[in-house]
Chains A and B, each alone.
Chain A
Amino acid sequence: MTTVTTPLEKQRTGAAAGPRPRRRPAAGRRRAPGRPSAAWALPGLVFFALFAVVPMGLAVYLSFTSWDGLTSPTPVGFDNWTRLFGDPEFLQAARLSALLTVISWLFQTPVALLLGVWAAGRQRNRAVLSAVFFLPLLLSTTAISVLFHALLDPNFGVVKEIGPWFGIDPNILGSSTGALLTIAFVGGWQFMPFHTLIYQGGMRQIPQVLYQAAAIDGAGPVRQFFSITLPQLRNTITTSSVLMVVGSLTYFDTVLIMTKGGPGTDTTIVPYLMYRAGFQSYDLGYASAVATALVVVATGLSLLMVRFSGFGAMRSTREGM
């Protein structure tokens, strides 16, 4: 072996000794810095187009037709839409959906925020407990709904034994208020861990120096929470709230399994109404109108929340550091 090895070859063969040469990429590979090519987004875009944009477009089209799922859709103009806005059931469903969203937000946000802030500490017991808290999110919604339905059975469930101690009538799922609150509770129980995780992550991004400075200035834990933690978490709150609102608006499985929209129509929220119109009445045109309305409202609400919370301005939470 008398051939002279260049440094580059040495590096390739892994036999390099001495200082490594600066790596020079092949000329063709070089890109403008900081701007990956559009091809990177392509797989995502293709799937988004196929499984979201195309079906959404179809739903909008179907909302202008009458379709029973067997024969061809027949165009009916704005019939489904005029019916939608005059349908007392839809208006009630919209009211219930709004109510469910507000209750869910009020219930989940404070608990998830406090839990997340608490869990952001790096102590071992917190890590273990966080893992335990996270478990509900790993269960399927169906399993959770079946479980709670069994617990809340008025004759055979735990609620029959425990309810009376607290003066609770075991007929929870059979009463209008009880059924809606249960749905909000079960949803919260399942998704709070996720929001806790988001808040935990947000909390860990806050620089410790802020707290150290505040402590020197004599601020206690409560003052620190309101003056540092909450303002620093405002974008996290927006993210979590948008997810929560959209999640509550599209809530469905729990209703289907636990109450079937009842008692009466007292838990018939918009997605359940859409299911009933589409897959029980086979009135797919009207169901598409309901679905389209839901998409518009959910998108509108998310955009509004992002806009009014200043999230869209992309201001850094770390400014002023």
Chain B
Amino acid sequence: MRSERVRGRSRAVRWTAAIAAAAMTAVLAGCGSGSGGDSAGGSGTLTAYVYGDDAVKVQQAAVDTFNKTSDVKVELVSVPGAEYVNKLRTAMGSPNAPDIFFNWGGGSIKPYVDAGQLVDLTSAFESDPVLKDGFLSPVVTAGSLDGKIYGVPMRGMQPVMLFYNKTLFAEHGLQPPKTWEDLTKAVTAFKEKEITPFALGGTDAWTQLMWLEYLLDRVGGADVFRRIQNGDSSAWGDPAVLEAATMVKQLIDDGAFGRNFTSVSYANGGAPALFAQGRAAMHLMGSWEYSTQLGKAPEFAKNDLGWTAFPTVPGGRGDAGNVVGNPTNYWSVNARTKHKDAAVAFLKQMASPEYTKALVDNGDIPTTADAGDTLASSPNPAFAEFQYRMVQQAPDFTLSWDQALEADKATPMLTEINKLFAGTSSPEQFTEALKALT
């Protein structure tokens, strides 16, 4: 009896060991196959991560063209927009990193540059006329870091502008605001008619950020944020920041954004719908608002949608021509890629006339040097022309703050902006909190 039990137990121990071994083998095998994944050298494939939205079809077409003639094939991975930044970051920290990836330049690539993960494309640009002369040089500069080029422009310009409802303005005998005084007048006029002056998707902090970006630029000029971007967080203490925040507070208190903007979302279409239905008269938004409205409310986009530059602010130091937003998006190349030359060859396509035309047909304004000649074929040449001139003539193009700063500063900054708009912190508390971001 006793010996039986002992035998039983030793059998159990053997089973235990066997199962444990099997489990460990399975797990290790899993890890092994994972790390040997798709960036392996021999396969002759370049993986390219792209922000997944409507414009992906333009990049897919470029990939298809490239693959026809190249031995090294490009595989495009379209990552859903909301997941893009997280997925890229996780992948870049793992052995399964993409060879080429979409980004916003500036702070959005700084951690990768610091970790030595990006290919310095400066010499490729200098030695190759296609790349060197292919793009508007301020746009290339905007994507650079410390004077080194890490990105090739690959999508349209995304300046932020003031969209307005032409029909509503005409009905109330108003002109689109050119000065801050016009703007406050329009706010009062629309409020009297119970129309929300500005649509604002306040659940998303970046929509609120646009107001601060423009106000700080108009009040203090582009230099204030440039200092911040270069690492001088004491520049948040510049009086212009406080003044811009105070102007925001004034707008909120005046009801310029309506009473419930803190629960309106941009992402689910809440704010654009308010604007399209004529319940809000204006919308400060990136140039993509045009294609958003064209997709969701084509009648409104055709008949009522107007656009203009952000108004001037009396006594402000900033040039009235300055623009904020995203100059464009860029492709960068992972330093660990096995096919650097093929990658650069692929990126050169972004300067080609075919690619430029595909972007224009998609409603985008390319940042190539010859884009001005192609705008007539845009779905809306007037809008394309306005946007192109706006960017081309801008003395300064400030990259969106949340892309210009590194994530560890941008995230708390967005939180502080959200608090300012929600009324849980005052303009003074706002600037103090930002100064503390080191």
Complex interface residues of chain A between 6 and 43 (CB less than 8 A to chain B): 27-28, 30-32, 37-39, 42-43
For B27, the chain A residues whose CB sits under 8 A away are 50
**Does B407 lie within 8 Å of A280, measured CB to CB?**
yes
For A37, the chain B residues whose CB sits under 8 A away are 8-9, 12
Closest A residue to B271 using CB positions: A155
B261 within 8 A of A: yes
- A residues whose Cβ falls under 8 Å from a Cβ of B: 27-28, 30-32, 37-39, 42-43, 46, 50, 68-71, 149-150, 152-156, 169-176, 179, 259-266, 268, 276, 279-283
**Does B19 lie within 8 Å of A46, measured CB to CB?**
yes
Excluding A42-B15, A262-B203, A263-B263, 4 further A-B contacts by CB distance (< 8 Å) are: A42-B19, A153-B270, A261-B415, A276-B415
Which of the residues B16, B279, B418 comes within 8 Å of A155, measured between beta carbons? B279
**Does B4 lie within 8 Å of A154, measured CB to CB?**
no
B43 within 8 A of A: no
Min CB distance, B194 to chain A, in Å?
13
Closest B residue to A170 using CB positions: B260
Q: A28-B4, A280-B411 are in contact. Are A260 and B115 (CB under 8 A)?
A: no
Min CB distance, A156 to chain B, in Å?
7
For B415, the chain A residues whose CB sits under 8 A away are 261, 264-265, 268, 276
Partner-binding segment picked from B87-95, B159-167, B209-217: B87-95
For B112, the chain A residues whose CB sits under 8 A away are 70
A281 and B203 alpha carbons, distance in the complex (Å): 19
Q: List 17 A-B contacts (CB under 8 A).
A: A42-B15, A68-B111, A69-B93, A149-B265, A153-B265, A154-B263, A154-B264, A155-B264, A173-B263, A174-B203, A175-B262, A175-B263, A259-B203, A261-B418, A263-B263, A264-B423, A283-B408
**Does B424 lie within 8 Å of A265, measured CB to CB?**
yes
Contact indicator per residue, chain B 400-431, by CB within 8 Å of chain A (1) or not (0): 00000001100110010011011111000000
For B421, the chain A residues whose CB sits under 8 A away are 263
Q: A69-B89, A153-B264 are in contact. Are A42 and B424 (CB under 8 A)?
A: no
Closest A residue to B14 using CB positions: A39
A32 and B117 alpha carbons, distance in the complex (Å): 61
Closest A residue to B202 using CB positions: A174
A164 and B387 alpha carbons, distance in the complex (Å): 43
A174 and B423 alpha carbons, distance in the complex (Å): 11
Closest A residue to B269 using CB positions: A156
A37 and B15 alpha carbons, distance in the complex (Å): 10
**Does B422 lie within 8 Å of A42, measured CB to CB?**
no
For B423, the chain A residues whose CB sits under 8 A away are 264
B204 within 8 A of A: yes
B302 within 8 A of A: no
B5 within 8 A of A: yes
Main secondary structure of the interface of A (DSSP, over half): loop
Closest B residue to A283 using CB positions: B408
Q: A264-B425, A265-B424, A280-B407 are in contact. Are A152 and B89 (CB under 8 A)?
A: no
**Does A266 lie within 8 Å of B260, measured CB to CB?**
no
Q: A172-B263, A173-B203, A265-B415 are in contact. Are A38 and B12 (CB under 8 A)?
A: yes
B296 within 8 A of A: no
Main secondary structure of the interface of B (DSSP, over half): helix
Closest B residue to A50 using CB positions: B27
Min CB distance, A316 to chain B, in Å?
30
A273 and B415 alpha carbons, distance in the complex (Å): 11
A69 and B274 alpha carbons, distance in the complex (Å): 40
A30 and B15 alpha carbons, distance in the complex (Å): 16
Min CB distance, A69 to chain B, in Å?
5
A282 and B115 alpha carbons, distance in the complex (Å): 14
Closest B residue to A89 using CB positions: B415
Q: A70-B112, A171-B262, A281-B411 are in contact. Are A262 and B93 (CB under 8 A)?
A: no
A28 and B19 alpha carbons, distance in the complex (Å): 21
Closest 10 CB pairs of A and B: A174-B262, A174-B263, A263-B422, A264-B424, A171-B260, A264-B422, A154-B260, A173-B263, A264-B419, A37-B12
Min CB distance, B9 to chain A, in Å?
7
B7 within 8 A of A: yes
Min CB distance, B90 to chain A, in Å?
7
For B174, the chain A residues whose CB sits under 8 A away are none
Min CB distance, B30 to chain A, in Å?
11
For A42, the chain B residues whose CB sits under 8 A away are 15-16, 19-20
Min CB distance, B411 to chain A, in Å?
4
B268 within 8 A of A: yes
**Does B263 lie within 8 Å of A70, measured CB to CB?**
no
A43 and B4 alpha carbons, distance in the complex (Å): 25
For A281, the chain B residues whose CB sits under 8 A away are 407-408, 411-412
Name the residue in A28, A43, A71, A280 with the highest tally of chain B Cβ atoms < 10 Å from its Cβ. Answer: A280
**Does B274 lie within 8 Å of A155, measured CB to CB?**
yes
Name the residue in A38, A69, A152, A264 with the highest tally of chain B Cβ atoms < 10 Å from its Cβ. Answer: A264
Min CB distance, A183 to chain B, in Å?
13
A276 and B407 alpha carbons, distance in the complex (Å): 10
For B419, the chain A residues whose CB sits under 8 A away are 264-265
A271 and B421 alpha carbons, distance in the complex (Å): 23
For B261, the chain A residues whose CB sits under 8 A away are 174
Closest B residue to A176 using CB positions: B424
For B19, the chain A residues whose CB sits under 8 A away are 39, 42-43, 46
For B262, the chain A residues whose CB sits under 8 A away are 171, 173-175, 262-263
A113 and B93 alpha carbons, distance in the complex (Å): 48
A240 and B104 alpha carbons, distance in the complex (Å): 48
**Does A266 lie within 8 Å of B263, measured CB to CB?**
no
**Does B422 lie within 8 Å of A70, measured CB to CB?**
no
Min CB distance, B104 to chain A, in Å?
15
Q: A280-B407, A282-B89 are in contact. Are A171 and B8 (CB under 8 A)?
A: no
**Does A70 lie within 8 Å of B204, measured CB to CB?**
no
For B4, the chain A residues whose CB sits under 8 A away are 27-28, 30
**Does B418 lie within 8 Å of A282, measured CB to CB?**
no
**Does B115 lie within 8 Å of A171, measured CB to CB?**
no
Min CB distance, B274 to chain A, in Å?
6
Closest A residue to B273 using CB positions: A156
A230 and B421 alpha carbons, distance in the complex (Å): 48
For A174, the chain B residues whose CB sits under 8 A away are 202-203, 260-264, 422
For A282, the chain B residues whose CB sits under 8 A away are 89, 111, 407-408
A79 and B94 alpha carbons, distance in the complex (Å): 26
For B259, the chain A residues whose CB sits under 8 A away are 171
**Does A70 lie within 8 Å of B270, measured CB to CB?**
no
Closest A residue to B117 using CB positions: A70
